[in-house]
Amino acid sequence: MPFSGHTDNNKPVADEVMFMRARLHIRTGRQRLSDGKISLGIVTLYDALYSAMQWYVTSPEHSSELTALSPANLNDDNILFDILNRSGVITPGFDYSAFSELVDSALYKNMSDFNYSGILTEIESVMSQLGVMPFEESVLPTDGPGIYSGIIDIRR
């Protein structure tokens, strides 16, 4: 999400929103997992991954790398993952279907006993392949009640 001083004015706003959202949510997802909020952390990691995939496929700088079926529903996370996987952006090995099932479980179940280390490693690997990670924590706004106050309204 674009915040004052945290955006690149040469990129379209929508691209920057999804890129920053992916980074913020990977940070927040990690924190929630380490705080023992496993279900919430997994759902937050899903949002981070979805945002990263949206950013990648809608960014003009990546369009020549992608193999898509036309017209593709770019709001469908399964289609986004398939496009990125088929295009070789995300290497084979990450089981997106299993991750989706895990996210569905996290929405309805207490997963406080779930060992999340493996899935976190896999998500971080995919985020690295997408170019969202690694990043310096200092490039992100600090957490706090006003963190979303600088969001640019992209609906205009």
Domains and CATH numbers, the chain: 13-139 (1.20.120)
Backbone phi and psi for residue 83, each to the nearest 5 degrees, phi listed first: -60, -45
The phi, psi pair for 95, rounded to 5°, reads -90, 95
Cβ atoms 40, 110 nearer than 8 A: no
Amino acid code (one letter) for 43: V
Given a cut of 50, the residues of the chain with pLDDT beneath it are 1-12, 145-156
Q: Of 156, 155, 151, give the one whose Cα is nearest residue 16.
A: 151
pLDDT one-digit tens code per residue, 95-128 = 999 999 999 999 998 898 999 999 999 999 999 9
